[in-house]
Amino acid sequence: MEIAIIAHDGKKTEMVQFLMDFKAVLQAKKITLISTGTTGKNAEKAGFKVEKFLSGPFGGDAQIAARVAEGKTDMVFFFRDPLGMHPHEPDIAMLMRLCDVHDVPLATNPATAELLIKSI
Ligand SMILES: O=C(CO)COP(=O)(O)O
């Protein structure tokens, strides 16, 4: 199973903490992690193996959206910062739209991600 992890800057610490909290599940279920660039670097520093795409503002969200459209990504954990402004808002909207188009589970905060990860 492939899970995409993406976090805006204000949420990267929460993403790493989430991965640490569920490390055992990720390993036991043989989850492949993919990510936008900087989120992936943070996860790697914490010891996770991640396939990194471009950084979000440079097209990383769009690359992950394409994988969702192609049926390659099974779940998306996208910890958005609702208080921040993002120059690539159209790409963010596209990713969320394509999750809905293809009925791919999308968690936009840690509480929902926890419910999803406990379901696999
Ligand atoms: O901007 C992002 C999501 O929209 C995240 O990108 P980074 O992981 O490269 O910071």
First to last CA, the chain: 9
The domains of the chain are located at 2-118
CB 107 within 8 A of CB 78: yes
- pLDDT tens-place string over residues 13-69: 999 999 999 999 999 999 999 999 999 999 999 999 999 999 999 999 999 999 999
Question: Mean pLDDT, to the nearest integer, of 67-78?
Answer: 98
Asked if 61 is an active-site residue, the reply is yes
CATH of span 2-118:
3.40.50.1380
Whole-number Å distance, alpha carbon 117 to ligand 1 midpoint, is 21
The one-character DSSP state at 100 is H
Q: Which residues line ligand 1 (CB under 6 A)?
A: 6, 8, 36-39, 55-57, 60-61, 86, 92
pTM confidence score: 0.97
Atom 4, ligand 1: residue with shortest CA distance: 56
